[in-house]
Amino acid sequence: MKETSLQCLLILISLLSCTTHQARLTVSPSSSQFFEGDFVSLSCEEDDSSAGWTLRRNTSKQQRTQCGDGWGEGAGSSCNITVFLLDSGVYWCESREGPISNMVNLTVTGGSVILQSPVLPVMEGDGVTLLCKTKTTPSNLPAAFYKDGSLIRKQPTGHMTIQHVSRSDEGLYKCDISGHGESPSSWITVTGDTLTCLCFCRFQHSQCDDNLMTVFALF
Ligand SMILES: *[C@@H]1O[C@H](CO)[C@@H](O)[C@H](O)[C@H]1NC(C)=O
Ligand SMILES: *[C@@H]1O[C@H](CO)[C@@H](O)[C@H](O)[C@H]1NC(C)=O
Ligand SMILES: *[C@@H]1O[C@H](CO)[C@@H](O)[C@H](O)[C@H]1NC(C)=O
């Protein structure tokens, strides 16, 4: 009984969050890891452009700097950047009124291998594909994939697919390609699905998932 009312409360909170102004930060190409010199497009997909979303980031050198202020080239809520090592950091969209979007960790490596993994949290039950690639070869080399430091799979084509993601797949992933080296590590987050809420919220707005995820994490 108690649990049910807690669930109701959380559903209510998540529905309310559907109606507030939202933005979602998207990264193109969709990856959390990049090679030095890669071109990356960041964009705040918003449901209300009057909220004036801007892109900001924290790096090891600077906090809360806006796109165009020493990094990136921006117009409104999108930003293009050619990335180098010091561009590694946390990126997010922020509106004048304060709300912030999902946050995204981007890692730029000086090495020659990256792991392409989902930038956004993955829904429980969805499929996910990880790609291990080198800077110089067109890809599809055999790769080994690691989760939380342990070898989980060796794949002849550099792709690893998890068909139905579950909570236990959450963790820190990296890969290596023999003769080329190891990628940095990236965190893959898995969020639960509570169908009714999610369907309702998706129906209302396509951009509210991240608030919901916080709520679902509690279920
Ligand atoms: C960015 O840095 C500021 C100042 O150090 C800190 O308050 C804030 O929590 C950081 N934000 C993120 C998303 O890490
Ligand atoms: C970012 O790059 C894309 C593709 O090259 C271009 O269409 C867009 O206008 C650029 N945006 C900014 C803000 O420079
Ligand atoms: C970003 O990376 C830091 C350090 O690895 C981690 O603590 C944090 O949870 C990550 N944030 C996101 C949004 O993935």
Dump pLDDT digits (tens) for 46-85.
776 666 888 999 999 999 999 999 999 987 789 999 999 9
23-110 homologous superfamily: Immunoglobulins (2.60.40.10)
Which of ligand 3's atoms lies nearest the C-alpha of 189?
Answer: 14
Q: What residues does CATH 2.60.40.10 cover in the chain?
A: 23-110, 111-194
Question: What is the pTM for the complete model shown?
Answer: 0.80
Residues with CB under 6 A from ligand 2: 41, 73-75, 78, 80
The strand pair at 190-191 and 122-123 is best described as parallel
Q: How far is the CA of 80 from the centre of ligand 2 (A)?
A: 6
Q: How far is the CA of 200 from the centre of ligand 3 (A)?
A: 29
DSSP string across 14-50: HHHHHHS--EEEEEES--SEEETT-EEEEEEEES-GG
Pick the residue whose CA is nearest to atom 11 on ligand 1: 58
Which of ligand 2's atoms lies nearest the C-alpha of 74?
Answer: 13
The model's confidence at residue 151, banded by pLDDT at 50, 70 and 90, is: very high
Note the pLDDT of residue 14. 56
Which of ligand 1's atoms lies nearest the C-alpha of 92?
Answer: 13
> How far apart are alpha carbons 117 and 167 in whole angstroms?
16
Strands, DSSP E only, in the chain?
23-28, 33-35, 39-46, 54-59, 65-66, 73-75, 78-82, 89-94, 104-109, 113-116, 122-123, 128-134, 143-147, 150-155, 159-162, 171-177, 181-182, 186-188, 190-191
Note the pLDDT of residue 23. 81
Which of ligand 3's atoms lies nearest the C-alpha of 185?
Answer: 5
Residues 203-210 have a mean pLDDT of 45
Tally of CA atoms within 13 A in the half-sphere of 124 that contains its CB: 13
Which of 105, 108, 122 for a ligand 3 pocket mutation test, highest count of atoms within 8 Å of Cβ? 105
Note the pLDDT of residue 19. 45
Distances (CA, A) of 8 to 31, 103, 194: 35, 27, 12
Distances (CA, A) of 72 to 41, 60, 82, 115: 9, 16, 7, 23
What CATH number does the domain located at 111-194 have? 2.60.40.10
